[in-house]
Amino acid sequence: MTGYIHHEYPKTVGRKDFWKQIKRTVNGQEVSPDDIEIIIKNVSNGLMLSKSDALLDLGCGNAALASYFYKKINRYHGVDFSKYLLEIANDFFFISGVTTFQELDLSASPKSIHNLQNYNKVLMYGVASYFSKKQLCEIFETILINNENVQQIYIGNVPNINFSENFFARRNLVKNDLKNPNSSIGVWWEPSELSQILISMGYSCKIVLMPTNFYGHPYRFDILALRNE
């Protein structure tokens, strides 16, 4: 399923339908500019983005979201396993001297991320659910442990298992596949279980619940993790 969603589905919509390509949609329609604004504000404020930052974006997709952060930071490196989405990123959201993109399956070889020691902030938005717990732990271990440079990591748009019942009932769907990273939504998480992984790696976590006017409310949550001194 994920193979199709990330590699093939984006080709079925327009090359400039950036939010549709990564399924940031409600009933097939792209989410509102207000929704995007909420995401940008939460990530920018949470990560306290500044001109000295080197941001590593795990699962950057077409980098449409990332492009809103470029002016706030010094360097940006986006990693994704979708060749097509990276092609869009390079065509529309590449800035020479600021951005670099890398094609990589993070579940297979997170250690292959270029210049891992260079980044001080990490973003993983709308991606965490597409990994099993074991894979996610491996990614965090690779990026966070023995890498004191990473001060903050923001994990966004994670499906909240506490609201899964309601989500499936409202859509008349059978509740299943809650722990399947290959399903269309991916793995649903208990917020404290996810934050516990980061706490065990030396980070303090804040769980961010989305406001009622956000398209993903109440089904999605974010986690901001800060490295302990």
Ligand X SMILES: C[S@@+](CC[C@H](N)C(=O)[O-])C[C@H]1O[C@@H](n2cnc3c(N)ncnc32)[C@H](O)[C@@H]1O
Note whether 113 binds ligand X by CB under 6 A: no
| Count of residues in the chain | 229
Note whether 85 binds ligand X by CB under 6 A: yes
Note whether 129 binds ligand X by CB under 6 A: no
Note whether 159 binds ligand X by CB under 6 A: no
Q: Residue 86's closest CA among 117, 113, 64?
A: 64
Structure tokens at 19: 């939010």
Work out the number of other CB atoms within 10 angstroms of the CB of residue 176.
10
Least Å distance between CB 131 and ligand X?
Answer: 7
Least Å distance between CB 228 and ligand X?
Answer: 26
Classify residue 5 by its DSSP letter: I
Which of these segments, 53-61, 140-148, 190-198, 199-207, binds ligand X (CB under 6 A)? Answer: 53-61
| Residue 44 contacts residue 71 (beta carbons within 8 Å) | no
Note whether 81 binds ligand X by CB under 6 A: yes
Counting residues that bind ligand X (by CB under 6 A) gives 18
Note whether 22 binds ligand X by CB under 6 A: yes
Is the backbone peptide bond immediately before 218 cis, with ω within 30 degrees of 0? yes
Measured distance CA(76)–CA(54) in Å, rounded: 6
Does residue 140 sit in helix, strand or coil?
helix
Which of these segments, 28-36, 74-82, 145-153, 213-221, binds ligand X (CB under 6 A)? Answer: 74-82
Where do contacts with ligand X occur on this chain (CB under 6 A)? Answer: 6, 22-23, 59-61, 65, 80-82, 85, 105-107, 125-127, 130
